[in-house]
Amino acid sequence: MGILNVTCDSFSNDGIYQDPQQALERARQMAAEGADIIDVGGESTRPGARTITAEEECLRVLPVIEKLAQEIKLPISIDTTKAIVAQRALAAGASIVNDISALKFDAQMGQVIAHFGAGCILMHIQGTAQTMQNHPDYTCLIDEIKAGLRAGVGKATAAGIERNRIVIDPGIGFGKTTEHNLQIIKHLGEFACLDLPVLLGASRKSFIGNVLKLPVDERLLGTAAAVAAGIINGAQIIRVHDVGAMAQTARMIDAIVNS
């Protein structure tokens, strides 16, 4: 899954694709490098990020999604927590909704996804983007994340979303400390009990910088290590900025795992 940010305040400083033609060119590049899904996001979810209105988010993402849907033969995911944004993005050509709240932030989200028969990525978050890194705290980290994801899956199926359209994401960096993130990747195999595909979104994140003492633009090798460990431990989708390098990493690890 290649990340296509159309924000002005992305944590990774890559939110430069607000022009639909520029976004299309970046999407074409990611497709050529090995992306299978393009994930379009219009609202930053970095710690402490400001919230934006649904109208502003739509103004950012819809022209890009419309352009991509016409010219890129890959599934498009809309990264949003707002049902109206998801509805308009799906109508414009997206086919997956990537909801960092696992349907918690907008009560209508499940019904929108079900109505369109779309794919659904449910992520675990403790708190909100504004509060999640204040004091992340767990009594039993993996069990609590599993419980949160299980609740999200229950909401999704109750809303009419077919189970075979659901992916789960333990939420690296979303209400977790560096140690929490390391433990999630180490124990990723424990999420197999939910019997759903697992997405890992570790690309360039601060826990890599904290371990390696590196700024965001120097975390390629740390990301590759996290991706490799994640795939070995059961990740089936990786959400990344550096598609070419991570596609090679994934192919090599797949070859080893499947040998």
| Given 146, 205, 219, 251, the catalytic residue | 205
**Phi/psi of residue 123, nearest 5 degrees:** -110, 150
Helix (H) or strand (E) holding 97: strand 96-99
Is 176 an active-site residue?
A: no
Nearest CA-CA partner of 89 in 114, 110, 60, 111: 60
Q: What is the CA radius of gyration of the chain?
A: 17
Give the Cα separation of 224 and 60 in Å (integer).
30
Residues 23, 28, 33, CA angle at the centre, nearest 5°? 125
Contact partners, residue 48, CB within 8 Å, separation at least 6 = 129, 130, 133
Is 205 an active-site residue?
A: yes
Tokens of 41: 């996001």
Give the Cα separation of 164 and 167 in Å (integer).
8
| Given 26, 67, 88, 239, the catalytic residue | 239
Distance of CA 190 to the CA centre of its chain: 19
As annotated, the active-site residues are: 205, 239
